Amino acid sequence: MQTSGQYEAIKDFYPREEVLDMDRRVADMPDLALVEHEDLFQIECLGMAWDIGVFITEPKDQSRVMRSPDGRKTGFFLLHGGDGDFKSLSVLARQLAGKLGAKVLSMTFPGRLYLPDPSRDWPGDTISADGTIRTPIWLDGEFIGPDQYDIIRDDSTMNRLRYGTRTLARAKPDTIFWHRMAAWPCAFEMAMVTACARHFPVAEFAVHAHGHSTGGAFSAKLPQLVENVVGQTELETAPIGYINEVKHDWSGALGKIGTYERVSTQTVRRNDAFNELYIRTWRDLARYAGPEALGQEGPTALMRLPWVMEEVLGAWEEDRIRPNFKAEYPITHNIVASLEAAAHAIADRLKLDQAGRHVLVTKYLGFGTYDSGPGTRPVQPIFYINSANSRDNSPEAFNGVILPMLADLEPAPRVKCTQLGAGTHIYYKPMPDLPFGLTRAAAFLWQKAILDGFFMD
């Protein structure tokens, strides 16, 4: 993979043997005793209350904390992927805190935290036997019932090729569900900024943002929103929405993205509506298991398809206690029509005048893009790490789309992209000789980049 920017200290590719060596070197570091606790707080956003949960993992002995080159304590702000909550981040968080000595804040997307149970584990399945579906809980005691949505089965050919049959809960107009689905992006942004203010004082911490998969489109904006978030440390992430939109639309055109032309007539861009909640099932594990088996075993993997499906269904039995619903496509794929529609829905509820409506639409269109213009903070340094058998993060996608588009920014951020010769998109998944997946190797590389000053001006 190529480099945008000036930093060359870390290799572009690490064979499996070197990944194992990095893992062992982190394993050999002393284990620091940890303090862990949940912080549940409430914010007011767009005329609605929202309960937000973050989980803190940090060294008990503050004399052992990791520090950045400028002397500030090192912090990590972590966001999970499209299926999870803060528990999906626990393996990574405990390596960063328990080995490196960083303070780690893991934030659950608004609505994803199962507030009725202190365990935060969701009961039952995402689709119940009676046909009702699991819905977000944005406020303790507020529940979305089946009278507030229609169930849609999407078996269109283009989507079925990737997902199988998709199940959607489509919010009915003027219900609580409708209004929450329109407003959550603003609550998400406010929650990130508020969480950082509560746990990472500016003078005390230099913070690094991380978002797994879907979470990457949100962690990408955080350095422009919070002054002491000094950059991104990304592992198996999605880029910001407008770049992700092109990445998924890209069909192999090479060269400068400025001369990019869509050469495939089969490509169809996403058109998910803001009021559609995607309900995940075992199919979402299968759509990663297939490409990963192909990458690890080759075409012969199909000869053990029943075994692969047993693994998928067994994994779903464990995974379904996580939230497993998703509403983020309008932002992660920069679906402009959906973002505009959400803003207008809020403006209608709040009875905004034309000027207020325009401000809200402009804000919503900015969720999928970097801030630009006078007075905005430049995009901060980014360090991407990808796995060997990633379904979505190929070297071609990074070299053909993501890195060139970042290089076109004014000013262009310092960017480094590294691929590890092991692992899958679910980077915390245990593997032979890698009991904590890729988390230790990532911790090793991020520590090196931080201490070498990659994130410092």
**At 268, is the pLDDT very low, low, confident or very high (cuts 50, 70, 90)?**
low
**At 253, is the pLDDT very low, low, confident or very high (cuts 50, 70, 90)?**
very low
Identify the CA nearest to 74 among candidates 457, 456, 441: 456
Q: How much of the chain exceeds pLDDT 70, in percent?
A: 93
When pLDDT is averaged across residues 110-132 and rounded to a whole number, the result is 95
Residue 84 carries which DSSP code? Answer: -
Query: To which residue do tokens 């499209």 refer?
Result: 82
pLDDT at 164: 86
pLDDT at 9: 55
Q: For residues 70 and 165, which has the higher predicted lDDT (pLDDT)?
A: 70
Separation between Cα atoms, residue 265 and residue 370, nearest integer Å: 29
For the entire predicted model, the pTM comes to 0.90
Would you tell me the crossing angle of helices 282-297 and 305-319 to the nearest 10 degrees? Answer: 130
pLDDT at 308: 87
Would you tell me the crossing angle of helices 176-199 and 336-350 to the nearest 10 degrees? Answer: 100
**Domains in the chain: ranges and CATH:** 13-451 (3.40.50.1820)
When pLDDT is averaged across residues 123-145 and rounded to a whole number, the result is 95
Mean pLDDT, all residues of the chain: 91
pLDDT at 1: 42
Separation between Cα atoms, residue 134 and residue 230, nearest integer Å: 37
When pLDDT is averaged across residues 271-276 and rounded to a whole number, the result is 95
DSSP of 181-239, one letter per residue? Answer: HHHHHHHHHHHHHHHHHHH--TTTEEEEEEE-BTTHHHHTTHHHHSTTEEEEEEESB--
Residue 262 has pLDDT above 80, yes or no: no
Residue 418 has pLDDT above 70, yes or no: yes
**At 155, is the pLDDT very low, low, confident or very high (cuts 50, 70, 90)?**
confident
Separation between Cα atoms, residue 171 and residue 252, nearest integer Å: 37
When pLDDT is averaged across residues 61-85 and rounded to a whole number, the result is 96
SS3 content of the chain, % helix, strand, coil (to 5): 40, 20, 40
Residue 254 has pLDDT above 50, yes or no: no
pLDDT at 3: 42
**At 257, is the pLDDT very low, low, confident or very high (cuts 50, 70, 90)?**
very low
Structure tokens at 384: 């991407």
Structure tokens at 180: 């929450």
Q: pLDDT, tens digit, for every residue of 308-347?
A: 889 889 888 888 999 999 999 999 999 999 999 999 999 9
Residue 389 has pLDDT above 90, yes or no: no
**At 291, is the pLDDT very low, low, confident or very high (cuts 50, 70, 90)?**
confident
Q: pLDDT, tens digit, for every residue of 339-371?
A: 999 999 999 999 999 999 999 999 999 999 999
When pLDDT is averaged across residues 50-75 and rounded to a whole number, the result is 97
Residue 267 has pLDDT above 70, yes or no: no
Beta bridge mates, 39:
54
Separation between Cα atoms, residue 141 and residue 128, nearest integer Å: 20
| N- to C-terminal Cα separation, the chain | 24
Q: pLDDT, tens digit, for every residue of 12-55?
A: 999 999 999 999 999 999 999 999 999 999 999 999 999 999 99
**At 250, is the pLDDT very low, low, confident or very high (cuts 50, 70, 90)?**
low
Residue 231 has pLDDT above 50, yes or no: yes
